[in-house]
Chains A and B, each alone.
Chain A
Amino acid sequence: MMDTFAALAHGMAVAVQPMNLLYALIGVFLGTAVGVLPGIGPALTVALLLPVTYKLDPGGSLIMFAGIYYGGMYGGSTTAILINTPGESASMATALEGNKMAKAGRGGPALATSAIGSFVAGTIATIGLAFLAPWLVDFAVRFGPEDYFALMCVAFVTVSATFGDSPVRGLTSLFIGLTLGLVGIDKLTGQARLAFGIPELLDGVEVTTLAVGLFAVGEALYVASRRHHTEEKLEPVRGSLWMTKEDWKRSWKPWLRGTMFGFPIGALPAGGAEIPTFLSYSTEKRLTKHPEEFGKGAIEGVAGPEAANNASAAGTLVPLLTLGLPTSATAAMMLAGFQQYGLNPGPLLFAERPDLVWGLIASLFIANCMLLVLNLPLVGLWVRLLAIPQPWLYAGILVFATMGTIAAKPSVVELSMLAGFGVLGFLMRRFDFPIAPVVVGLILGPIAESQLRRALAISLGDPMTLVQSPISATLLAVALIALLAPFVMKGLGRFKANED
């Protein structure tokens, strides 16, 4: 307990250095500005802004990342409320009630309850992260390679089976990601796999190229292809920005309940803020004293899911930092951010670079406070960003998206891969395949493979090692149940957004 306080205090000391505060501020600002653009979720925000941090030292870069991450979350909910285009499925519940509130001229209180709710949830969840992480690290040191492999199997299954409508389509996405993860030189034997004699492919598929291609290029192609269907309408923010006493009274309990849903589910290696936001939404709908307002703009329906969304985002940092296990597309991008400095999150990083890890955790608190102070007064600025005409907006997004790749690897092959992943992202959107499992598959697949091979090498090739460790056996059983459950209970608990 005391250790956590000491470590956190040390992290604070790192985070409040003027340069680091500046990095956090830039991160928060950029994160919100990019996240607010329609169709851009937090994962893409992080992917797009990764090149900006190339030249910073790891500490500063990770602190800026924390800001970008939380900023992207805030920005996304602003978009969901004001134009009803949730950048990701986790903002769907927010869009449901929030956009109705904005249409009814209560956009201000909707934005306020989402900002304050995010702050409350983010703060509580970050405290949870700070206390849970050391405990989990102690536990994770005992993990052998077979246990890590089993843990990754759990993540694979839950990430692909819980996202999207169908386990078949989710698993298809995952396996596309696993296939991409195979490309390149095999680290143990030095043989090239799936490189087809192309030298650029020997290094493997770059996570940022994949994410930017799937999310940014794919989204632009998709929106362009169906431009004739929908006209986005920006709701002006009318009336007071501030919440009334009544709004406060109706918001604080949903905030806390949303946090209680979001953090534990996010911290499990199940990933996805979709489920906690849905649980929070349906709970608030059941508990409210104003059931007639649901579907027409009930403030509880914004407060709860927004809190759940942010709490689960902080929750996904628990497996990411302590086990190196990304369970959402955004967490996968954060891992890519670590990897660009050759850092591997996990128990070792806590021991070797406590300044980095705790500096990052402390910056999450700081980023959260900055957002609360910045977001509401600057709402006018964000609204103006939303008003950029669609042609220029998407043209600009594509320029920025390709710029990241051009800056990292200005080769024809890399850019062709970006375009190819864009087409893949477009087709996956069109045929309703979830995107996040591809990214998670690419980044976790090679790690899972090397853990499995290490485990089998230690056991002299005996596959029974996977079930002889109690941790591994339990986790594999969990993975198996999680894999079979959706086929057994088809259609249970799926969250479908109401059509407008």
Chain B
Amino acid sequence: MSSGDPARPPRRVDRAGLVIAALLAGLAAVLVWDARGLQSAAMYGMGPEAMPVVVASGLALLAIGNFIDALRGNLPARESADPVPVVLILIGLALLIAIIGFGGGFILATSALFVTTSAAFGRRAILVDSIIALVMSTFIYLAFDRLLTLSLPAGPLERLL
């Protein structure tokens, strides 16, 4: 409408918004696909497959709504994002999951997460942070495992304590 107005840039199609709309539509499809395998055992009223279909219909409608918003460029303005720290934290989470999964124990797992997160937020003193992380997580392990008797997974380090 106001393409001649220099103060307002013309609205552009928001690609990320299109992806969001596609994901919602995909989620709706998954729901319907999953619901097809359910048997309606209820004599009266709704069976277990009714609610997924209702939710899927809602998601499909919302996919359309988001699609329209994206076409109109109606999404709120975003500032640029730095992917590096995000990836670093995700690596930290992956390390944590792997260490827990392979029986490395609570202390090593959370220390790995601590050091990567700290690095993601701009710290470069990995050795110092590692020591802090090990001391802190050992302390947490002792406090929660021994004092509050929560069972935290034990690995080689925990067995030494």
Contacts and interface: CB of A to CB of B under 8 A. Distances in A.
Interface of A: 51-52, 54-55, 165-166, 168-169, 171-172, 175-176, 178-179, 182, 186, 188-189, 191, 193-194, 196, 217, 220-221, 224-229, 389-392, 394-396, 398-399, 402-403, 406-407, 410, 412, 415-416, 418-419, 422-423, 426, 430-432, 445, 449, 452-453, 455-457, 459-461
Interface of B: 16-17, 20, 24, 27, 30-31, 34-35, 38-39, 41-42, 44-48, 51-52, 55, 58-59, 62, 65-66, 69, 74-76, 78-83, 85-86, 88-90, 92-94, 96-97, 100-101, 106, 109-110, 113-115, 117-123, 129, 132-133, 136-137, 140, 144, 148-153
Given A225-B83, A410-B152, A419-B93, A391 B42 contact: no
A52 B143 CA distance: 11
A396 to B, nearest CB: 7
Contacts of B137: 399
A407 B154 CA distance: 11
Nearest to B88: A224
10 contacts: A171-B65, A188-B41, A196-B34, A226-B82, A229-B79, A390-B122, A391-B123, A402-B96, A406-B100, A419-B97
Given A226-B82, A403-B110, A168 B65 contact: yes
Nearest to A452: B46
Contacts, number: 205
B102 to A, nearest CB: 9
Contacts of A165: 76
Given A410-B152, A412-B97, A189 B42 contact: yes
A466 B62 CA distance: 25
Contacts of B85: 224-225, 227
Contacts of B66: 168-169, 172
A226 B153 contact: no
Given A221-B86, A225-B85, A461-B45, 7 more contacts: A54-B150, A191-B41, A389-B123, A391-B129, A395-B121, A419-B93, A432-B76
Contacts of B74: 166
B90 to A, nearest CB: 7
Contacts of B100: 406, 410, 412, 415
A396 B16 CA distance: 32
A432 B75 contact: yes
Contacts of B129: 391-392, 395
Q: Which 6 residue pairs spanning A and B have beta carbons closest together?
A: A456-B45, A224-B85, A391-B121, A461-B44, A395-B117, A186-B48
A171 B90 CA distance: 28
Q: Among the interface residues B58, B78, B89, B119, which one has the most CB atoms of the partner chain A within 10 A?
A: B89
B35 A193 contact: yes
B97 A175 contact: no
A182 B34 CA distance: 11
A402 B113 contact: yes
Contacts of A186: 38, 48
Contacts of B69: 166, 168
A396 B82 contact: no
A395 B133 contact: yes
Contacts of B58: 171, 175, 178
A227 B82 contact: yes
Given A189-B47, A399-B137, A432-B75, A228 B82 contact: yes
Contact of B136 (A168, A399, A406, A460): A399
B62 A194 contact: no
Given A171-B58, A220-B89, A224-B121, A188 B97 contact: no
B62 to A, nearest CB: 5
Contacts of B55: 175, 178-179, 182, 445
Contacts of B121: 224, 227, 390-391, 394-395
Contact of A193 (B38, B122, B144): B38
B34 A193 contact: yes
Contact of B81 (A171, A225, A416, A422): A225
Given A182-B55, A226-B82, A396 B136 contact: yes
Given A172-B66, A229-B79, A392-B118, A431 B93 contact: no
A227 B24 CA distance: 29
Given A168-B62, A189-B41, A415-B97, A194 B34 contact: yes
Nearest to A183: B34
B82 A225 contact: yes
Contacts of B34: 193-194, 196
Contact of A431 (B78, B86, B133, B152): B78
Given A55-B150, A227-B122, A416-B97, A398 B92 contact: yes
A193 B52 contact: yes
Q: Among the interface residues B78, B137, B148, which one has the most CB atoms of the partner chain A within 10 A?
A: B148
A354 B39 CA distance: 41
B38 to A, nearest CB: 5
A357 B119 CA distance: 46
A224 B47 contact: no
Nearest to A164: B76
